[in-house]
Amino acid sequence: MPYLRAFGHHLPTRIVTNADLEIRTGRVPASIEKTSGILERRYAAENETVADLGLAAANACLANANLIANEIGLILFSSGSAERAFPGPASVLAQKLGLTTTPAIDIPVASAGSLIAIAFAADLAPRYNNILVVASEIMSRRIADTDPDTAILFGDGAGAAIVSNEASPNGLRIVDVSLSTDGNYADALQLPYGGAIQMKGLDVIIQASRKIPRSIQDLLEKNNLKPSDISLFLMHQANVNLIRKVATALEVPEDRFFRNIDRYGNTSSASLLIAASEWRAANPNPPATPVILAVFGAGFNWGSVLLTP
Amino acid sequence: MSTQAGILKVIHAVADIPNDPNPDESLFDSGTLDSFTLPDLVTGLEKEFNVKIPDADLVPERFDTVTKIEAYLDTHKS
């Protein structure tokens, strides 16, 4: 039975406020906050790589799990903002952890990647036991100030989780998973080679507003649960207005949705694991009810995961 | 209740700006709807008219005016 054993995260130290972005993009801070819920985000230093951020998150996660790198059976690394087409950051991270034979696989699907990696890890845990899931993004290098609607949204950061086949104190059991893809929207959110992120915001919000609640509802119904049975929703931090939409659609109070988008912006696939790590650090005891993870992103790919204490 | 009256009822329920748009006035250009209220409009239309609107039909062009919404509903009502 697979468990989420521990989380960890790392954020660059450089804080970029909405006022900083006003100088670059012309968007006034009040407008940025109203349309996204973001007050500030973090940007990586020039010499930092996606694997560097991922390593810091991985080390924090390993410490929280009381594991050493040699106990990892598999690495799954999610990033949509890696520096090169191949090899991706997974093998670089493995090398930085001192692992030279452990399989390390990239999942380059951007925002939904961390949840997809957790879903894969749940199925692979019986074979590999401790699986290190890392999601790391340096989105600040993939935006263009000439597209302020997109540029204001993104930040950099990394999160990590250990999926283990063995139960552990305070581990969260991975009960069920729902993954979906609709390639009709492949062009609606994309990062072309050598370019900046291109996003048809209207399509993204409209589809996400419908598909995320449906994914969660279907997963809960399959497991004889209702949204009101869930006290904690850990969702991709894309936009505070989207999080509110999902809460409204599920008819649950907004405060059941963990939020840190005001401080970090949209860190793409890293956001889910950063949120999970911050929630866990603040709430070390087992949750009182099942927990839902949910994401939506380029592809479109979306999905949800049901966890129980 | 006429189809247009039902559409206006849904628009009033979901729009941030309380207004009575002309049938051919762009709901997006006027600020009546935006990316966050269009999903609410569609959900409201589904309930009001007992229709199922597939995700693939959720493009702003189809719901940009009351006239376009009415035309869409006329072809999708069972």
- Cα–Cα distance, A151 to A128 (Å, whole number): 39
A63: left (phi over 0), alpha (psi -120 to 50) or beta: alpha
Q: Do B35 and A201 touch (CB under 8 A)?
A: yes
| pLDDT tens for each residue of chain A, 309 residues long | 799 999 999 999 999 999 999 999 999 999 999 989 999 999 999 999 999 999 999 999 999 999 999 999 999 999 999 999 999 999 999 999 999 999 999 999 999 999 999 999 999 999 999 999 999 999 999 999 999 999 999 999 999 999 999 988 889 999 999 999 999 999 999 999 999 999 998 889 989 999 999 999 999 999 999 999 999 999 999 999 999 999 999 999 999 999 999 999 999 999 999 999 999 999 999 898 999 999 999 999 999 999 999
CA distance B23 to chain A (A): 22
Residues of A in contact with B63 (CB under 8 A): none
Residue of A nearest to B57 (CA): A207
- Cα–Cα distance, A72 to A92 (Å, whole number): 15
pLDDT band at B78; cut points 50, 70, 90: low
Instruction: Say which residue the tokens 């290098």 belong to.
Output: A141
- Cα–Cα distance, B76 to B74 (Å, whole number): 6
Q: Do B39 and A245 touch (CB under 8 A)?
A: yes
Please report the number of interchain residue pairs, chain A to chain B, with beta-carbon separation below 8 angstroms.
Answer: 30
Closest to A50 in 3D by CA, of A201, A150, A144, A160: A160
Residues of B in contact with A211 (CB under 8 A): 55
Cis peptide before A87 (omega within 30 of 0): yes
CA distance A110 to chain B (A): 22
CA distance A175 to chain B (A): 28
Side-chain-facing half-sphere of A253: CA atoms under 13 Å: 5
CA distance B55 to chain A (A): 7
Closest to A233 in 3D by CA, of A279, A170, A264: A279
**Burial class of residue A24 (count of CB atoms within 10 Å of its CB; 0-12, 13-18, 19+):** middle
Residue of B nearest to A244 (CA): B36
Q: Does A207 touch chain B (CB under 8 A)?
A: yes
Please list, in sequence order, all residues whose beta carbon lies within 8 angstroms of the beta carbon of residue A231, skipping any fewer than 6 positions away: A256, A287, A288, A289, A291
Element (H, E) at A51: helix A50-65
Is the CA virtual torsion B45, B47, B51, B54 positive or negative? positive
Entry pTM: 0.94
Please list, in sequence order, all residues whose beta carbon lies within 8 angstroms of the beta carbon of residue A258, skipping any fewer than 6 positions away: A232, A233, A234, A235, A275, A278, A279
pLDDT band at B39; cut points 50, 70, 90: confident
ipTM over 0.85: no
Q: Do A206 and B35 touch (CB under 8 A)?
A: yes
Strand partners, A257: A233
